Chain A
């Protein structure tokens, strides 16, 4: 268990994902992208990271690669 409250964001587009990170970062929050969670859970449980915002990019539509190129 990770003993703190975490804001979980699941963006629909690459731009939303980008903006969410910027916003959290500007607010001085510890923010990470989440794409599975093995590292996040392991390190948070070991008190090595303290995520306040997690942006879940694991379910972004497969078109994101195209978006990025454009």
Chain B
């Protein structure tokens, strides 16, 4: 049996260690998480507006979307959407005469994770908007504000402090859900890197513990930043005991 390289060596940067690989995995994880979160937020904003102001048909469709997505495991959804999405896109491109296209794994991961996140964002934002005292919105309308001005000056600042606990939770969830991409094979992000490194070196404990520690660091740092942000947003509110 060959002697195993030591711990500092195997995690070092350069050709002898996996430090740089892990770092680029972390970068990809953060990129996918940020993009998927942003997409989810966009879908959630539209979905919440549709659920509150939309026609009965829109509300029915959105109810179906949020219920379905939240009742099926993320992993299964990601698999279905990943394969169905790439097959449908290829079929579409072929029908249009462009020939078969290869779907970018990272882009597909972002879209799929964003679609799943969107359902949760919709519910969080809808709850927060509906928790605003209706009188405040009516007052804004009575002043003659346009819908966009009303949203920017009243709805958004009043809603954000209520939504921020749910939104922070979703951010923490999406950073961890990026690990599911490793199962589908969408890109070499942190979990996949750790898996490959562990498989190559047979040092499973080392690499999975390292990956776990990196994810934990992301979570703890995010919590710090988010709680500071929440305090900033709540600065005008009465202190709750």
Query: Are the chains A and B members of one assembly?
Result: no
Q: Which residues of chain A have a CB within 8 Å of any CB of chain B? A: none
B interface vs A, CB < 8 Å?
A: none
